[in-house]
Amino acid sequence: MATDYYSVLGVGRDASQDQIKKAFRRLARELHPDVNPDPKTQERFKEINAAYEVLSDPQKKQVYDLGGDPLSQSGGAGGAGGFGAGFGNFSDIMDAFFGTASQRGPRSRTRRGQDAMIRLDVELSEAAFGTTKDIQVDTAVVCTTCSGEGAAPGTSAQTCDMCRGRGEVSQVTRSFLGQVMTSRPCPQCQGFGTVVPTPCPECAGDGRVRSRRTLTVKIPAGVDNGTRIQLAGEGEVGPGGGPAGDLYVEIHELPHAVFQRRGDDLHCTVTIPMTAASLGTKCPLETLDGMEEVDVRPGTQSGQSIPLHGRGVTHLRGNGRGDLIVHVEVQTPTKLDPEQEELLRRLAKLRGEERPQGQFQPGQQGLFSRLKDAFNGR
């Protein structure tokens, strides 16, 4: 044989089924593509799967030990006989004509676990600059009492006496074609080929239990609502102590008291009196980087914006940061005392604005109304 399946799994030729299974489980956890995506490792993973498929099946193992090829279509010894080389045995022919889809030997009790997801709340500053957080997750982990075997300590799985380890039972019926053989999963072992007489009292034979764990998650700078961070192999452990699925951490950014995020830009509004807008002023603003002064130029109109470049959120992909856009809202006084009213009247007279005609423009809207209409495609 070109491949030594015993060497692939690292066991001797006299290894028991239990030793073969443990060797496969150990290698599968190390070489599973979800844990190690390296192409060479994936080829190695295929090799151990092929080796386990043969050595865990008593019939295939016997053919292999006698020098045959249990994975070839010809069946190794005898093959298809008079039916041609395209079919391995009689049940292969029945699959081709009637779709019986026999599973070809027992199915493994060890399967990959499901993926899991948890939502994580982060502050705006944490999303902008990145952070590290500890999270608690409740997932299925390998049962420490039975090490994922599912059997009580001191016991082990036994070969099913109904299917004799094949995982399926066959039945011969008569039809117009003559005798027809069909196969179905063994009802006693549910297709596993083995039974567990004494299940583990801790996991009830499942090979896994639920446990709360604390994980450290690195939040990259620039994440946004809905961003998912994948933690490979931190999800649910599979039945029989199989490889764990992945854990996805979904980011939920909490609202900020001052800033509104749009992409990687931040927006806020500053309200100033009309005198400050006319004469100019400096407004202190607590940004994500600390206290800064916003320079309001003389003659600033309501609705104008003042950009602070590079004060927004870090770009998740790429270098640099977004901007902080300060929108100005000019506040007109509603109540004036006699002295203030007299001063304004004198100012209006000096500027020739005692009876202004006004300038009318159709469809004039505020900044946020225009942004809303543009977003809605109006």
DSSP letters, 204-240, are: TTSSEEEEEEEEEEEE-TT--TT-EEEETT-SPPBGG
Residues 365-370: contacts with CB under 8 Å, at least 24 apart: 366/303, 367/303, 367/305, 367/327, 368/327
Total of domains in the chain: 2
Whole-number Cα distances in Å, 199 to 63, 103, 147, 192, 261: 32, 25, 12, 15, 55
273 and 245, same structural domain? Answer: no
Contacts of 335 (CB under 8 A, 6+ apart): none
The reported pLDDT for the residue numbered 91 is 41
Establish if 298 belongs to a structural domain.
yes
Is the pLDDT reported for residue 135 higher than 90? yes
Are 220 and 317 members of one domain? no
For residue 367, is it within any domain? yes
Q: Does residue 91 fall inside a structural domain?
A: no
Q: Give the position of tokens 């600033």.
A: 300
Whether residues 267 and 342 fall in one domain = yes
Tell me, what's the pLDDT at 39?
Answer: 73
Domain presence at residue 20: no
DSSP 167-194: SEEEEEEEETTEEEEEEEE-TTTTTSSE
| Rounded CA separation 368/134 (Å) | 38
> What is the mean predicted confidence (pLDDT) over 234-259?
93
- Of residues 213 and 88, the one with the higher pLDDT is 213
Q: Is the pLDDT assigned to residue 353 strictly greater than 80?
A: no
Same domain, 248 and 265: no
Task: Indicate the average pLDDT of the chain.
Answer: 82
Of 84-98, 143-157, 253-267, 327-341, least confident by mean pLDDT is: 84-98
pTM over 0.85: no
- Under the banding of pLDDT at 50, 70 and 90, the label for residue 86 is very low
For residue 96, tell me if it sits in a domain.
Answer: no
Residue 116: predicted pLDDT: 93
Out of 100-109, 161-170, 205-214, the most confident range is 205-214
The Cα–Cα gap between 158 and 151 comes to 10
| Residue 368 structural domain | 260-356+363-375
For 117, the 3-state DSSP assignment is: strand
Claim to verify: residue 133 and residue 211 sit in the same structural domain: yes
Domain assignment present for residue 11? The answer is no
Kindly state whether residue 143 falls inside one of the protein's structural domains.
yes
Residues 208 and 127 in one domain: yes
Residues 312 and 369 grouped into a single domain: yes
378 pLDDT more than 60: no
pLDDT > 70: percent of the chain: 81
In terms of pLDDT, which residue wins out, 78 or 14?
14
Question: Nearest Cα to 166, choosing from 19, 18, 60?
Answer: 60
Task: Report whether pLDDT(261) > 90.
Answer: yes
pLDDT (average), residues 361-367? 59
Query: 61-70, 78-87, 275-284, 302-311 — which is least confidently predicted?
Result: 78-87
- What's the whole-number mean pLDDT along residues 335-351? 88
CATH assignment at residue 284: 2.60.260.20
Last residue of a domain, one of 190, 224, 254: 254
User: In terms of Cα–Cα distance, which of 218, 327, 220, 219 is closest to 265?
Assistant: 327
Predicted confidence at residue 352, as pLDDT, reads 82
Q: Between 101 and 62, whose confidence is greater?
A: 62
**Are 289 and 369 members of one domain?**
yes
